[in-house]
A and B are shown apart, each in its own frame.
Chain A
């Protein structure tokens, strides 16, 4: 059987070859733009996967009965988003995502706990408090929710009265460790806050069922230990030289510290040379 290309077949082949060549060039261009080129508008790669969650009410109304499934869907999205880096120096959609998750699944305890731990650190303090209070309405028997909310009031709002109220509420619920009651009492006297925060995080690290929360709380414990170490070193420096050092490096130069300890949370610690206080600045 002889095979000869007619004019039409030749034209078709030409079209196919051209189309394949163009698709190859397009792929090369795309890859070099997206994967191998410099970061676009000073962001990480994550900008391309920033989730766009719907309004939580809309998500609920459009769930077609698959509420828990959709809650898990957005839960996985939240985890991927948070784990993927912060494209704008801030996880802009984080609070919205948590809102969608708990609106779809109002009894999803781990979502509240995780939100209360990570949202305030990313600048969503009011959203975290709203999340915690929503959780308390939906899961009124869980001591963890007022406890974690109290933590937010203490650390980020410096509102000790509100924190004390939350701890008192937590202490009245079944399963609350005895130390929660202790915290509520101490808070009412507005005692040393960092020492208290240290105890609170130690409790969270010891009692949380979530490995992630445990790890996060353990990092806070280490972070506060770094601050305590620096505070002790500052006291030694003052006792020896009768004045405050210019920087933490002076503590190393004086032989009080082997090196300046770093926060495991990536928080920069700054010495206030007027008061001797250690200030925290995120990034």
Chain B
């Protein structure tokens, strides 16, 4: 079973890294991260701060773009072109197929995240002579965030067209990052609105749990309990989304 899953994962990984769009995105991301140095140069002595904020935001945005443009298409393309049938006609369960697709794309996002993260951290080191653990954790948590969004993208991918699925995933990413705002608004509202907003806060992916980017400039390393709870949340939420996606995919008629 593990062998089959590994084969599907590697196959998906190969499929995605053959996509020319991925190379251009990673190349452009590297360029933007490096260009953040220029923004820092006109910041009145705040160059390290500006470079770190711009660089980390660039990593998140490009990882998100990869998830949206490649991740959301992965499953729907297989369904549309009926190529999924070829794989599923072999002794491979739908669960294995779905999970393999997810892990393959997660592997791709990890590789691209590591490339972007390394470029960023090397430039931070070149500029400051040190790399803070906070920056390292921030990059790792960006990768976790896009893994979760990949699961969301695949869930939508199994239900709707690639474009709609990309739009929905993007909207969820925005809602996920607005979770702090939603919480603040909830606390300021009356009981009914408050109930609705708190429901939204808890039910939608809370991506702010993975946002360590704001702490990097102050060199605030996350506490072990913070890391532990974020990992627990990631595992539970991603599992739930994968299980729902799987349930839908199991009932999908080709």
Contact = CB atoms under 8 A, between A and B. Distances in A.
A193 B218 CA distance: 37
Interface in B166-202: 174, 177-178, 180-181, 184-185
Interface in A93-112: 107-108, 110
A63 B178 CA distance: 8
10 contacts: A60-B181, A62-B181, A64-B181, A65-B177, A69-B56, A75-B44, A75-B46, A76-B39, A211-B44, A212-B44
A76 B50 contact: yes
A114 B42 CA distance: 15
Given A65-B211, A72-B54, A107 B43 contact: no
B214 interface: yes
A52 B74 CA distance: 42
Contacts of A202: none
A61 interface: yes
A66 B207 CA distance: 12
A92 interface: no
Interface residues of A, number: 24
Contact of B53 (A62, A72, A79): A72
Contact of B50 (A67, A72, A80): A72
Interface in B37-65: 39, 42-46, 49-50, 53-54, 56-57
Contact of A69 (B181, B208, B213, B218): B213
A114 B44 contact: yes
Interface string A67-86: 11101100110011000000
A114 B177 CA distance: 30
Contact of B54 (A69, A210, A212): A69
Contacts of B42: 76, 79-80
Contacts, number: 66
Nearest to B211: A65
Contacts of B207: 65
A211 B50 contact: no
Contacts of A68: 49, 53, 213-214, 216-217
A110 B45 contact: yes
A66 B57 contact: yes
Given A110-B44, A110-B45, A212-B44, A64 B50 contact: no
Interface string A159-192: 0000000000000000000000000000000000
Contacts of A66: 57, 177, 213
A75 B43 contact: yes
B53 A65 contact: no
Contacts of B217: 68
Contact of B181 (A61, A71, A107, A108): A61
A103 B218 CA distance: 16
A110 B40 CA distance: 14
A107 B45 CA distance: 16
Report, nearest first, the 4 A-B pairs whose CB atoms are least far apart: A65-B177, A64-B177, A69-B57, A69-B53
B43 to A, nearest CB: 6
A72 B214 CA distance: 11
Given A68-B213, A76-B42, A110-B46, 17 more contacts: A61-B181, A62-B181, A64-B174, A65-B178, A65-B180, A65-B207, A65-B214, A68-B49, A69-B56, A72-B53, A107-B218, A108-B49, A110-B45, A114-B44, A209-B45, A211-B44, A212-B44
